[in-house]
Copies of this chain bind each other. A is one copy, B any other.
Amino acid sequence: MGRCSLLLLLLASLTPGAGSPVSPSLRAPSSLPWSTSFRSRPTITLKYSIRYIQQKVDHFGFNIDRTFKQRYLIADNYWKEDGGSILFYTGNEGDIIWFCNNTGFMWDIAEEMKAMLVFAEHRYYGESLPFGADSFSDSRHLNFLTTEQALADFAKLIKYLKRTIPGARKQPVIALGGSYGGMLAAWFRMKYPHLVVGALASSAPIWQFNDLVPCDVFMKIVTTDFSQSGPNCSESIRRSWDAINRLAKKGPGLRWLSEALHLCTPLTKLQDVQHLKDWIAETWVNLAMVDYPYESNFLQPLPAWPVKVVCQYFKYSNVPDTLLLRNIFQALNVYYNYSGQAKCLNVSETATSSLGVQGWSYQACTEMVMPTCSDGVDDMFEPHSWNMKEYSDDCFKQWGVRPRPSWIPTMYGGKNISSHTNIIFSNGELDPWSGGGVTKDITDTLLAIVIPNGAHHLDLRASNALDPVSVQLTRSLEVKYMKQWVTDFYVRLRKMN
């Protein structure tokens, strides 16, 4: 499957040159079911200031003394000096404003928690580029893109805020994050427990490393989502790979496929077919991640329960290959053209440009090696074993570095984390990443919450009238625990004085 990131798969980025639109005349078909009914969700008014802090490029060495500007957002409308708290979002692989806009939970609870909100951008993403435009130019410039450096940035930022904001010094800080940011929140509490009283790690697959969980768990969950979203759905998708192969081998097959799928760049050679299938597979994965119960716009503008919508195209079993492929197109359109604006489908794009594709590709080639595989039997994908050697060679070719797949478990403890405290691991049952997450309580302060009907960090999103009860309960529980940490902090503080 290639390098599988948390918020987007990266196959497209591994195929340079693919996807420049050459058929602008291709129009999105007028039969697109939701192109007219699309409406944007009501936006929460988020009032924050954008600020910057000078950070050392290298916290762990002294030879390079260069600094860079890390961006962060701060909102203190509801903050109270007396008994308040600081909710600190540990930014992940993208533009921090985008994460801020997609983490409505923090805004929803700010008043109740008397909280100052801080959203810290992750180095090498958004505007926080250690070497500006050169940041991704080679492995020398990328050398400081690691989780340890990112956590150290967060530590320095918290110390700085406490030092400079009157009233902030004696306040408890809680780390919050989703996806890769959720891992960072959990790891931050593990490594810097003196700076945060606890962490909410939403959809954080901290065990999707090395051999901590079977590599096939991810694709199995995607498959289950599709199986449960409509009859024949996962079966049809499983059948589609061979159908594509058969069609591609026929005389005008590539042209037929290009037209049936309305591809911006027509397929011209057999390798393009593999790339096409990878891109389609990635689309199903993304759909499983963002299978939210209401219209949303995270990776793409989407209808409510998008997997159910997709599965409506796969109701019938054993349809002919050509019809199956036309249905595949309709299904892809749900993901890529809900707005009705797309003129063609671009196989080199799968998600919002707010995500930092280059940065994550490098991270996946160094520390963040998260094995996935499929067998085509227990899942609906083509069989793909996990081949570390090939993966490493690809990384070396692309970035000139080789991954160290056992490093993250060595650094962050793997499954042996019971000595830590005050971390909530929440996981949506629909989320493929939940397979690498903590879904059972480890101790009475390392807590797991599983959200039935929940997709990727649904709990961190703004509350919505269409939210299932499960996520409402989850959020109440999360607030309850966080309030307890805050109370414990103030009790300790009073004892010390």
A416 interface residue per 8 A CB criterion: yes
Q: How far is the CA of A416 from the CA of B196 in the complex (A)?
A: 11
A286-312 contact mask (Cβ, 8 Å, vs B): 1 or 0: 000000000000000000000000000
Q: Are B421 and A419 closer than 8 Å at their CB atoms?
A: yes
**A136-144, A371-379, A446-454: which one contacts chain B?**
A136-144
A398 to chain B minimum Cβ distance, whole angstroms, is 13
Q: Are A194 and B156 closer than 8 Å at their CB atoms?
A: no
Q: Note all chain B residues with C-beta closer than 8 A to A468.
A: none
Q: Are B60 and A60 closer than 8 Å at their CB atoms?
A: yes
A413 interface residue per 8 A CB criterion: yes
Q: How far is the CA of A249 from the CA of B274 in the complex (A)?
A: 88
**A8-16, A35-43, A47-55, A61-69: which one contacts chain B?**
A61-69
Find residues 386-442 in chain A having any chain B CB closer than 8 Å to their own CB: 401-402, 404, 406-407, 410-411, 413-414, 416-421
Given known A-B contacts A193-B413, A194-B413, A194-B414, A63 and B419 have beta carbons under 8 A apart:
no
Q: Note all chain B residues with C-beta closer than 8 A to A156.
A: 410
A148 interface residue per 8 A CB criterion: yes
Considering only CB atoms, which chain B residue lies closest to A413 in the complex?
B194
A358 interface residue per 8 A CB criterion: no
Main SS at interface, chain A: loop
Q: Note all chain B residues with C-beta closer than 8 A to A194.
A: 413-414, 416-417, 419
A190 to chain B minimum Cβ distance, whole angstroms, is 8
Count residues of A near B (Cβ-Cβ below 8 Å): 41
Given known A-B contacts A159-B410, A421-B419, A60 and B149 have beta carbons under 8 A apart:
yes
A32 interface residue per 8 A CB criterion: no
Q: Are B61 and A144 closer than 8 Å at their CB atoms?
A: yes
Would you list 28 pairs from A and B whose C-beta atoms are within 8 A, ordered by A residue?
Answer: A59-B407, A60-B60, A60-B146, A60-B148, A60-B149, A61-B144, A61-B146, A62-B142, A62-B146, A62-B366, A62-B402, A62-B404, A63-B139, A63-B140, A63-B143, A63-B401, A64-B143, A65-B401, A65-B402, A152-B410, A152-B411, A156-B410, A159-B406, A159-B410, A191-B191, A193-B413, A193-B419, A193-B420
A155 interface residue per 8 A CB criterion: yes
